[in-house]
Chains A and B, each alone.
Chain A
Amino acid sequence: MKIFDLNFDVEEEPIPDGEDHDLLENIMDGEEVHDSPREKVKTENEYYRNYVRSTQWVQKLIRTENKGFNVFYFSVAVVSCVLLIGMLLFTISYLPRYGVENPESTLVVKRYVENGLQETGAVNIISGIILDYRAFDTLGESHVLFTALMCVTVLLLRDSKNMRTQYEDFYTIRDEKYHELYRESIMKFVAAVLLPCLLLYGAYVLLNGQISPGGGFSGGAVLGSGLIICAAAFGFRSTDRVITRKTANLIAFFSLGFYSFAKGYVFFTGANGLENHIPKGTPGAILSGGLILPLDIAVGLVVATTMFGFYSLFRRGSIGGNK
């Protein structure tokens, strides 16, 4: 029995053999899809909304809101917005001029610029700052990213213990199947051309953080967008081979663990006046800057998995399949 009429205008193509296809058939043949919890919740909410709108006290509330409170809120909001912008512009007019050096603000910078190359071994001073002088800050940043990924996983993961059920999966699998069968050829072609360049460029930016603009965060973002384009154009099956939930967790664990231990070593030796045995290398070469290159790689891997994890969780509720 066909419950969902998809109204394909295209002629029916022979469906490729696969294991997921059978699952889809089974769900499509099932008869209890109409009574799915999702539909129930929807109708219940519709009922509540109409009920709430029709009750008298809500009508009263809406009326008073429309007349008294809304006018009050609107006027206060306009005044506060105008006041905020005006105060900030007033402050701006007393700031030092744009593009002119302000000796007080470059006091700290003097140390970074003049001794940075000798102390960190990185030609790119910004890399030296974020991954050597202020490496603890960057460790916190990558943990913020990881925590955000965990929060999104808690909220959106689609399994039997979470809010979503197998009926919810029906819609996802149906959409996936539809997109897999009738995937756009333009998107496929562009992705096939773009993907190798993107991944190569991401690796280049990631590995050259200490000698040129770039570094862990930007390179990781480029790598992650490459993965996202791959998933959007060729389906999640292509990325499932590379990145599953297990590998994502392992990458995050080992990257953050390596970062913590490496920086812990540096802090320990620095605080106790011990000699640091990590070679700085010749400035300008790829293998320079001491710990900056490995830390860049760790941060970049965390950023790439996090970016792809956000996309995958929002799109289908899991990182790399449900297994």
Chain B
Amino acid sequence: MENLIANSTEAVAVILFGIGFTMLLFHRNLFRKLIGLNVMDTGVFLFLASMGYIEGRKAPIIVNGVQSTEAYINPLPASLVLTGIVVSVSVTAIMLSLTVRLYMRYHTLNLDEIYRMADHLEDDR
């Protein structure tokens, strides 16, 4: 428990992840599911960024020729977060355009109605 309070940033990141997962499960609207997915992404980025932080150290930009590990925080998670952000943006764009196409076909964003109409239209053919 003590450790959990000390790791409060990671705990917040995990709770954000859980909120996003909950939105994915409980909402029928496709746009809300997308927002949930983005909240999950944000939780992962916060977790990665907080893992690299070391107290009292500076950002990894070499100043005055100081080149020891003692002076800078961990630069590796930052570069991993960059990859994550790019992939998240691309996935969001593709899913949004798929949602637009679904809306053009069925004129609804509710997933249940889309399933029912798709079943019926398939029977009709």
Contact = CB atoms under 8 A, between A and B. Distances in A.
Interface of A: 41-42, 45-46, 48-49, 51-52, 58, 61, 65, 77, 80-81, 84-85, 88-89, 92-95, 97-101, 105-106, 108-110, 112-114, 116-117, 123-126, 129-130, 134, 137, 141, 144-145, 147-149, 151-152, 155-156, 163, 211-213, 217, 283, 310, 313-314
B97 A152 contact: yes
B86 A113 contact: no
A95 B7 contact: yes
A151 B3 CA distance: 45
B69 A109 contact: yes
Contact of B18 (A88, A310, A313): A88
B29 interface: no
B96 interface: yes
Nearest to A303: B86
A153 B5 CA distance: 47
Contact of A81 (B21, B83, B89): B21
A314 B100 CA distance: 9
Nearest to A210: B61
15 contacts: A41-B105, A48-B121, A58-B116, A77-B26, A89-B11, A89-B14, A97-B6, A98-B6, A109-B76, A112-B75, A113-B69, A130-B79, A152-B97, A217-B82, A314-B97
Shortest 5 CB-CB contacts between residues of A and residues of B: A148-B90, A99-B55, A85-B18, A125-B60, A93-B4
Contacts, number: 164
B17 A88 contact: yes
A163 B103 CA distance: 13
Given A93-B1, A156-B100, A217 B86 contact: yes
Interface residues of B, number: 61
A202 B86 CA distance: 18
Contact of A92 (B10, B67, B74, B79): B10
Nearest to B76: A109
B53 A98 contact: yes
A126 B78 contact: yes
Given A97-B3, A114-B67, 17 more contacts: A52-B117, A52-B120, A84-B18, A88-B17, A89-B11, A94-B3, A98-B6, A110-B69, A113-B72, A114-B69, A116-B62, A124-B60, A134-B79, A151-B94, A155-B97, A156-B100, A163-B104
B94 to A, nearest CB: 5
B86 A144 contact: yes
Contacts of A48: 117, 120-121
The SS class assigned to the A binding surface is: helix
B35 interface: no
Contacts of B7: 92-93, 95, 97-98
Contacts of B67: 113-114, 117
Nearest to A65: B112
B111 interface: no
Contacts of A49: 107-108, 113, 117
Nearest to A142: B86
Contacts of B60: 113, 124-126
A100 B55 contact: yes
Contacts of A114: 67-69
B38 interface: no
A101 to B, nearest CB: 5
A99 B51 CA distance: 8
Interface string B98-125: 1011001111100011001100110000
Contact of B68 (A108, A113, A149): A113
